[in-house]
Amino acid sequence: MNCLVAFLSLSILLAVSSCDTLPTVYEYYTSGGISSGLSANQSYFTLNGRNISIYSGALHYFRVPRAHWRDGLKKIRAAGLNTVETYIPWNLHEPQPGVYDFGDGGTDMEDFLHLEEFLQTAQDEDLLVILRPGPYICAEFSFGGFPVWLLREKEIRFRTSQPTYINAVERYFNILLPILSPYQFTKGGPVIAFQVENEYGYSPDPELEYVKELYEMFVENGIVEQLVTSDPIMGGLRGTLPDVMYHAINFGDSPDENFDQLLEMQPDKPLMAIEFWAGWFDFWGATHYTESPEDFRDNVEKILKYPASVNFYMFYGATNFGFLNGAAYDNHLIDNSGLKSVTTSYNFDSPLTEAGDYTQKELLQQYNPVKTYRPDVPELVPRVVYPSIKIQNQLLFNDVLEYYSPYSIESENVISMELLDINNKSGQAHGYIVYRKENVELRANTVLMIEGHICDTAMVLVDGVLVSPSLKSTDDFDGFGYWRLENSSLELNTEAKNGVTIDIVVEEWGRMNGGQLEQYNHTHKGLWQGDVYLNDEKIVNWKIIPLEFKKDWVNSLEMWSYISTNDGPSLYYVDLEISDEPRDTYLDMTNWIKGIVTVNGFNLGRYLKLGPQFGLYLPAEFLKQGHNIIIIFEHFKAPSEVSFSADPVWGNQ
Ligand SMILES: *[C@@H]1O[C@H](CO)[C@@H](O)[C@H](O)[C@H]1NC(C)=O
Ligand SMILES: *[C@@H]1O[C@H](CO)[C@@H](O)[C@H](O)[C@H]1NC(C)=O
Ligand SMILES: *[C@@H]1O[C@H](CO)[C@@H](O)[C@H](O)[C@H]1NC(C)=O
Ligand SMILES: *[C@@H]1O[C@H](CO)[C@@H](O)[C@H](O)[C@H]1NC(C)=O
Ligand SMILES: *[C@@H]1O[C@H](CO)[C@@H](O)[C@H](O)[C@H]1NC(C)=O
């Protein structure tokens, strides 16, 4: 990009004088032709033979609406960074075995998946790129980026060279890597490095044969740029092949100690924190994380002074749209009872917020010996508070099941959502699964007992009426309806009743994104750990109804009626009428209890009364001039209005 183009495309206050004197990143590193890529063959990095300090910011294209990419990338460059880093999520790009989506592939996330456009935009905005294609990415993203259909395999050992697993990786990499290959730096593109796997040396039992097989896939698919591995320092060099890979580290604190140790492990090579944790993510029900700006500045200064290269993780945190948040299991690893679900916002208290605002953190410029032209900071994207809308229409959950069941599967026993033969036999990856038993004769004081753990939460309805408790505090997670209890019971009724329908509505609240390998056996969702009983009598012959809240299905819902009750699970409908250009906003979910929100059919994400996130980011590009249909699936009790906020809302109640 030349100065004039930069000037025109920014169309805001630009310091033209600096433009006259300084080259862009690409002018600096590619003038006179490209003969070599990123080299870590000496104690400092070179790119095309010229010294480079990699100052990178993480922005995950699959967490940022496509129309915001350019703005986010401009801001990264304007902050003085020369590189953007992103993971690549396998689960989104291969939604069914052998079926791919790299933009417009027909999935609800299709608009986020134009990976080539993202790479091209980064280059247009004068940024180099570091790619982290996994296959495992962690990223606090659903299942660490693994496709859920892999769970249908009886024999699979994730992150090893076991054939079922490695063959699936190979099929995907043979599609993905040829797409990326032309975007390599030495071929005139922006990509200077590829990370292989993710914190693999930090896993309990890393297997170098697996790393070797991944290495071969990269090479055979024409990848020639620098290969990188990364771990927290404790991972040592257990997950890397030092002859062919450069090893970087991840940390949030103590840069000097970390780099001293890296230097001991890997002398005569440059230093880089490929994840310097510029903040942290949040879990539902916990307190919102905030980073002290002083600590942040102090750590950044230590990194730059050392001197070392750095990738700010995250620079632009953004959003886990839909059901795509990850989860952690922090205790009782084996029995799946310690689930902590990551919030919809992946704000990370990062230098750029979810909506692209700068936080108070500023980056230190003076340490980069290479001076390049830096565009001015783009204007902030303006947000509005739309007027509150009174809710007038609803669709009772029972009517959803009666009239809109997308599938109805007969099954003798309860089974997990992944094993349903839906979606071209790739199973159900996300959402809710309803286990329905019809024509039951309930004796007085009948007790329902669910064997094993519920994965992850459950509501129980008798003839469409909620009989399990509503959520009031985090203490309720110890009671019926949540994953912690093993063999949980609930009294359904006091009076005897004939011909009733019982529904157990089980929610997938986030798939584990990290932890020990054997835990991946425990990411099945729904009821699958045992049987379900009524007064000690096993229930058989279920009707199973998966509810994925996909866009086409949400848009097909029609039978809206006036509000008859705001108690119990129900869908609520409002029409947000916008007369001028739509603007970014937040839905303020403070007065709701638990559920999800869709806008024009697209699933924005989850909300929870316990916080810490109450504001649900609603970017302008999901809205249009005219009518915008907002549908909220509330589990327990709805307020009378849908409200908006200009800013994120954090807290606990
Ligand atoms: C780094 O060294 C390796 C091994 O000697 C060599 O193959 C590679 O071309 C070098 N890379 C660069 C960019 O100079
Ligand atoms: C590149 O960096 C090294 C290490 O800091 C330094 O010794 C060398 O002079 C630099 N080269 C140029 C051309 O600036
Ligand atoms: C269904 O799956 C098969 C095999 O994985 C695939 O070839 C086919 O394209 C899929 N069909 C659709 C409609 O996605
Ligand atoms: C749950 O029930 C199973 C058998 O149905 C039993 O083996 C297990 O010990 C029970 N767990 C608890 C905590 O009661
Ligand atoms: C997880 O799966 C692996 C491979 O199928 C198996 O060897 C292991 O025993 C399983 N672990 C648990 C806790 O079930």
CA of 275 to the centre of ligand 2 (A): 25
For ligand 2, is residue 42 a contact (CB within 6 Å)? no
**How many Cα atoms within 13 Å fall on the side-chain side of residue 539?**
30
**Closest by Cα among 635, 632, 599, 592 to 614:** 592
- 128 vs 193: CA distance, rounded Å: 9
Closest residue (by CA) to atom 11 of ligand 3? 424
Pocket of ligand 3 (CB under 6 A): 96-99, 424
How many CB atoms lie under 10 A from the CB of residue 388?
14
**Closest atom of ligand 1 to CA, residue 41:** 1
CA of 37 to the centre of ligand 1 (A): 9
**Closest atom of ligand 5 to CA, residue 156:** 5
| Predicted pLDDT at 279 | 86
Counting ligands in written order, the one closest to the CA of 156 is 5
The string of pLDDT tens digits covering residues 208-243 is 999 999 999 999 999 999 999 999 999 999 999 999
| Predicted pLDDT at 379 | 84
| Predicted pLDDT at 1 | 29
- Assess whether 275 carries a catalytic annotation: yes
Residue of 35, 41, 50 with the most ligand 1 atoms within 8 Å of its CB, for mutation: 41
Helix (H) / strand (E) element for 333: namely none
**Closest atom of ligand 4 to CA, residue 487:** 1
Contact yes or no for 573/642 (Cβ under 8 A): no
| Predicted pLDDT at 351 | 76
- 35 vs 188: CA distance, rounded Å: 10
| Predicted pLDDT at 332 | 47
For the residues of 15-41, what is the DSSP string, one character each?
A: -HHHHHH---HHHHHHTT-----EE-S
Handedness of CA 233, 235, 236, 241 (dihedral sign): negative
- Assess whether 199 carries a catalytic annotation: yes
- 484 vs 477: CA distance, rounded Å: 7
Q: Where are the alpha helices (DSSP H) in 189-346?
A: 208-220, 255-265, 293-305
Closest residue (by CA) to atom 8 of ligand 2? 51
CA of 51 to the centre of ligand 2 (A): 6
For ligand 2, is residue 39 a contact (CB within 6 Å)? no
Residue of 28, 42, 44, 370 with the most ligand 2 atoms within 8 Å of its CB, for mutation: 44
Geometric angle at alpha carbon 557, from 553 and 560, rounded to 5°: 165
The string of pLDDT tens digits covering residues 383-429 is 999 999 999 999 999 999 999 998 999 999 999 999 999 999 999 99
CA of 336 to the centre of ligand 3 (A): 32
Counting ligands in written order, the one closest to the CA of 529 is 4
Counting ligands in written order, the one closest to the CA of 453 is 4
**Closest atom of ligand 3 to CA, residue 97:** 5
**How many Cα atoms within 13 Å fall on the side-chain side of residue 225?**
30
CA of 38 to the centre of ligand 1 (A): 9
**How many Cα atoms within 13 Å fall on the side-chain side of residue 307?**
14
CA of 106 to the centre of ligand 3 (A): 13
Burial category of 471 from C-beta neighbours within 10 Å (exposed 0-12, middle 13-18, buried 19 and up): buried
**Closest atom of ligand 3 to CA, residue 424:** 1
Burial category of 583 from C-beta neighbours within 10 Å (exposed 0-12, middle 13-18, buried 19 and up): middle
For ligand 4, is residue 486 a contact (CB within 6 Å)? yes
CA of 492 to the centre of ligand 1 (A): 70
CA of 2 to the centre of ligand 1 (A): 31
Active-site annotation holder among 94, 275, 291, 418: 275
Helix, strand, coil % in the chain, rounded to nearest 5:
25, 30, 45
Counting ligands in written order, the one closest to the CA of 424 is 3
Q: E-assigned strands of 280-385?
A: 309-316, 326-329, 339-341
For ligand 4, is residue 451 a contact (CB within 6 Å)? yes
CA of 637 to the centre of ligand 4 (A): 33
3-class DSSP state for residue 592?
A: coil
Please give the torsion angle defined by the CA atoms of residues 530, 533, 535 and 537, in that order, rounded to the nearest 10 degrees. Answer: -100
- 511 vs 513: CA distance, rounded Å: 6
- Cβ burial 16-37 (10 Å sphere, 16+ → b, else e): eeebeeebbbbebbbeeeeeeb
Closest residue (by CA) to atom 3 of ligand 2? 44
For ligand 1, is residue 36 a contact (CB within 6 Å)? yes
Geometric angle at alpha carbon 116, from 273 and 348, rounded to 5°: 40
Closest residue (by CA) to atom 4 of ligand 2? 44
Rounded to whole angstroms, the maximal C-alpha distance in the chain is 86
For ligand 1, is residue 39 a contact (CB within 6 Å)? yes
- 344 vs 648: CA distance, rounded Å: 12
Contact yes or no for 6/378 (Cβ under 8 A): no
- 117 vs 512: CA distance, rounded Å: 30
**Closest atom of ligand 2 to CA, residue 307:** 5
Rg (CA), the chain: 26
Contact yes or no for 147/95 (Cβ under 8 A): yes
The residues, any chain, with a CB within 8 Å of residue 177's CB and separated by 6 or more, are 133, 217, 218, 221, 222, 223
Joined tokens for residue 289: 């994380």
Counting ligands in written order, the one closest to the CA of 516 is 5
**How many Cα atoms within 13 Å fall on the side-chain side of residue 552?**
4
Active-site annotation holder among 125, 199, 507, 508: 199
For ligand 2, is residue 31 a contact (CB within 6 Å)? no
The residues, any chain, with a CB within 8 Å of residue 316's CB and separated by 6 or more, are 57, 58, 59, 64, 72, 75, 76, 350, 351, 352, 356
> Could you state, in chain order, the average pLDDT of each consecutive group of 10 residues for the chain (653 residues)?
31 38 96 97 98 96 97 92 97 98 98 98 98 96 96 92 97 98 98 98 93 98 98 96 98 97 97 93 90 85 94 93 89 58 88 65 67 85 94 97 94 98 97 98 97 95 97 93 94 97 97 71 85 97 98 97 97 98 97 98 97 96 98 98 96 83
Closest residue (by CA) to atom 11 of ligand 2? 51
For the residues of 368-427, what is the DSSP string, one character each?
A: -SS----PPPPPPPPB--PPPEE--EEEEHHHHHHHH-S--EEESS--BGGGS--TTTT-
Contact yes or no for 220/186 (Cβ under 8 A): no
For ligand 4, is residue 117 a contact (CB within 6 Å)? no
| Predicted pLDDT at 356 | 64
For ligand 1, is residue 186 a contact (CB within 6 Å)? no
- 83 vs 351: CA distance, rounded Å: 15
Counting ligands in written order, the one closest to the CA of 532 is 4
| Predicted pLDDT at 297 | 83
How many CB atoms lie under 10 A from the CB of residue 470?
16
Contact yes or no for 618/586 (Cβ under 8 A): yes
